[in-house]
Structure 1
Amino acid sequence: MERTLVMGILNITPDSFADGGKFFSFENAIERAKEMISEGVDIIDVGGESTRPGAARVTEQEEIERVVPVVTELVSIGANVSIDTMRSKTAEAAIGAGAKYVNDVSGGLADEKMAKLISRNPNVQYVCMHWRGHSNQMQLKAEYEDVVKDVKKELDERVAQLLKSKVSSDQIILELA
């Protein structure tokens, strides 16, 4: 019987809503990832941009500089790594460093090049999340007529677009958040 894999979140941001920025330094990030692995986490999800409500965006270059060294180190110790990003260039850099998953909170809506990147990397899994806007707008767009039907419809649309972009259905993992 297959078991559910556990993904541990590693935010390399000074303003993380989950940990308050405790793992912003390279050393602290690696130490925390090793702790999570020893606790049984299967995948380390590395993020370099906060997506908490109201969070300010960071530049693409800053995001890459935060995450790629950590991804590289974690892959070198045998960890399964996911990159948490809405940007195809950050995802591409992390895939180049060995990431096996792309966790995109925008479901590809923030960067039209994301689907093509995933389609060119058939061994990479794509976590497609339901999304209605960037952190500075998300609360304004959180009204639903029927939340279950609306989220299902919007995720169905995302999956259809991914398939149209030649992303394999075997690569797609849906996140309902």
Structure 2
Amino acid sequence: MRWWDIDAVFVLEKELFPDDAWSRGMFWSELAHARGPLATRRYVVAMDGDRLVGYAGLAASGAVPDSGFAAVADVQTIAVARDHWGTGLGARLLTDLLQAATAFECAEVMLEVRVDNTRAQKLYERFNFEPIGFRRGYYQPGNVDALVMRRTDPSTPASGVQGTEIHG
């Protein structure tokens, strides 16, 4: 994802998450940490021709030397245009994020998912994420709980989608 993608990302964000969409500023802030030797973020977009049809982002926090604390990654967002649901695009985006977690030398990957989003939960389970807890009232408005999931081995299985390009 680059700065010039933010307007298209924001349109899809508002369409898919109308009640709790990220602002343009939030995406700008994340991208500020996605380049250079000290990068701690990985944000990608999926294009179908000239149309942005998905995006995903990951944040890594580094290990603390001599503390026993290993680096951890958090899946910040994954979004796929409704007309691309069921095509494997979500799996491809998640594969890219898991590869980034490996590159960041993360020992585990965490995420939150709405308890009522069974489609996403099934995707994460296919990638060996396991439920480890809840965050009560995490998603607002509506006071919807989040299921917290973790994957302790970020090495990635092969996955792909024909005709859709992923760009970092």
Greater relative CO (CA pairs within 8 A, separation 6+):
2
**TM-score category by the smaller chain?**
0.3 to 0.5
Q: Structure 2 length as normaliser, TM-score?
A: 0.36
> Could you say which structure has the higher helix fraction?
1
| TM-score normalized by the length of structure 1 | 0.34
